[in-house]
Amino acid sequence: MLPPIPVLADYGISPTHGFLPDVLPLTRLPDPYYNKWEAIVANLQALILSKRLRGVIDRLPVLSTIGLEHDAEWRRAYVLLCFMAHGYIWGGDSPSERLPASISIPLLQVSEHLEVPPVATYAAVCLWNFKPLFMDEDVDNLENLATLTTFTGSLDESWFYLVSVAMEARGAPIIPLMLTAIAAAREDDAPTVARCLHAFAERLDDLTALLGRLHESCDPHIFYHRIRPFLAGSKNMAEAGLPNGVLYEDESGNGTFRQYAGGSNAQSSLIQFFDIVLGIEHRPTGDKGPSRPEAEREGRGPAPKHNFIMEMRRYMPGPHARFLSDVQAVANIRDYVELNRDNRELCVAYDACLSMLRALRDKHIAIVTRYIVLPSREVRARSRSPEATRRKVNLATASRRQPQGMAFDADGDAGGKKGANLKGTGGTALISFLKQARDETGEPAIEEWTKRFMSRAPRTEGQGDFFAGKADEGAGLQVQGQTEEVSVPGLAGTWTMDDEVGGICNY
Ligand code: HEM
């Protein structure tokens, strides 16, 4: 007996808006009891700028969550508390190791209710933090979107979040569509499966176009230096000033130190849904061989093995993460296409989806290069200048250095040994990780031509970026006679600088 195909309503997923809530995010909490929270967040940028946010939050009473009724209210409370928490932690000259009870107590309760971690996740800053400008127009259109809350008040920050919101909305119809495809594959209805795959491929192309609009209103330097630091987490942040993470205080002023990854689009359930439904597998970074024993058929496909990608599921709203595991148990499209290799239309439609998803990842790699790798390289170059050694570095924005030999792979393994999970993703080269995820996307291709096309070796000449200069020889950096590996702060993870990084045009 095959497991039932998941029903969207059981997971709070909208057939039209996907992982965005069906009820629009509230612009404020209706109960005036929460006016103090609303007032702080309405003035968040000014309070951060004047460095008065911490003082205000220190004097804030602990409000009860008893007045929160509908889920939309709980979600609004989560957004407010996450913005206040990250503003408090990162909005000073040095990060705060403690989160006062006025934030931590309600944040822990709201997080438990919504099944999300008590930290600014993708749900807090994107999924539950937008409004349409015109109610009668769709939210899959960037020209009809506004954010509710930002740390900086900048257009760049709003645009960064809104590109993701528009992608979630534009990609949403793919979810019911591909559940229909799964049901059709069970019925051996190849024309329906092919039709769904065609529509899927076209939508993926739309998503790449949306992603490509990021640069229109989000400046890479503003992103890197002003926005990203507020999204930082508390895990692997020793060098940023949080060796133990953050103390979530209880009423007595004691509490527990907690460590969480920062907010990242890697926490988008939509992109993971695409991988799952197409049968794409992500292996730990560096693991080259495609693995797919014949025995693994419908409903028994192996779980994704990439630990970072799996870890990101813990940062998704609980019902969305459960949906992904349940879809995993019924994902049959790859097997169905493989069993129908003689059906040209079906195979071409399936390959088109892989190709479009690969193109999306390609575009993403170019963005990460432009928004993370190049600015971090500039920070690094400046930090080597003589005057920089005299200057105080804002640790939240600086690239970190760690002695070589202390690199950890994506599974948190030091030197390949299990059980030494100290640095999380630190030690995994960022672009290598993203490129491997991209290349794995093309692996299931059926048609010989598509396979060849998608496994083309990337261009190797001309790797120096015209403006940013040549990449350094290797990731190692000689400091005081000792070789160091340079860490690049990503969003959710900390990564090393890839030696083959060569600018934005080489992928
Ligand atoms: C300025 C824009 C962006 C930057 C700088 C950026 C950066 C990153 C970084 C550094 C990672 C590695 C994991 C981490 O440290 O968090 C990552 C992973 C990822 N990002 Fe982005 N990202 C951006 C926009 C987006 C958008 C709009 C999406 C799509 C919704 C997206 C989807 C993903 C996914 C799915 C991963 C996991 C790796 C994969 O599946 O290929 N990113 N991103």
Segment 278-329, tens digit of pLDDT: 999 999 888 876 655 544 545 545 544 678 999 999 999 999 999 999 999 9
For ligand 1, whether the C-beta of 398 sits within 6 Å is no
- Quick one: pLDDT at residue 383? 76
- Quick one: pLDDT at residue 271? 98
Under a CB-based contact definition with an 8 Å cutoff, are residues 121 and 265 in contact? no
Selected residue with higher pLDDT from 439 and 417? 439
Q: What digits encode the pLDDT tens for the residues 370-407?
A: 999 999 999 888 877 766 655 544 444 444 443 322 22
What is the pTM (predicted TM-score) of this model?
A: 0.87
Which sign does the torsion angle of CA 86, 91, 93, 98 carry?
Answer: negative
Please determine, for residue 493, whether its predicted confidence score (pLDDT) is greater than 70: yes
- Kindly state whether residue 463 falls inside one of the protein's structural domains: no
Under a CB-based contact definition with an 8 Å cutoff, are residues 79 and 40 in contact? no
Planar angle of CA 27, 31, 36, nearest 5 degrees = 80
- Kindly state whether residue 488 falls inside one of the protein's structural domains: no
Count of residues making up the chain: 507
Under a CB-based contact definition with an 8 Å cutoff, are residues 110 and 74 in contact? yes
Find the mean pLDDT for residues 493-497.
Answer: 76
How many angstroms is it from 50 CA to the middle of ligand 1?
31
- Kindly state whether residue 141 falls inside one of the protein's structural domains: yes
Find the mean pLDDT for residues 253-277.
Answer: 96
Confidence class for position 457, pLDDT limits 50, 70, 90: low
Q: Other C-beta atoms within 10 Å of 188: how many?
A: 11
- Quick one: pLDDT at residue 428? 75
- Quick one: pLDDT at residue 426? 56
- Kindly state whether residue 55 falls inside one of the protein's structural domains: yes
For ligand 1, whether the C-beta of 371 sits within 6 Å is yes
**221 marked as binding residue:** no
Confidence class for position 367, pLDDT limits 50, 70, 90: very high
Mean pLDDT in the chain? 85
Find the mean pLDDT for residues 247-261.
Answer: 94
What CATH number does residue 225 fall under? 1.20.58.480
Helix (H, G, I), strand (E, B) or coil at 136: coil
- Kindly state whether residue 329 falls inside one of the protein's structural domains: yes
Q: 28-37, 350-359, 448-457 — which is least confidently predicted?
A: 448-457
- Kindly state whether residue 431 falls inside one of the protein's structural domains: no
- Kindly state whether residue 146 falls inside one of the protein's structural domains: yes
- Kindly state whether residue 113 falls inside one of the protein's structural domains: yes
Find the mean pLDDT for residues 100-129.
Answer: 98
Domain range spanning residue 362? 25-288+306-375
For ligand 1, whether the C-beta of 434 sits within 6 Å is yes
Closest protein CA for atom 7 of ligand 1: 368
How many angstroms is it from 290 CA to the middle of ligand 1?
23
Number of domains in the chain: 1
- Give the nearest ligand 1 atom to 361 CA: 41
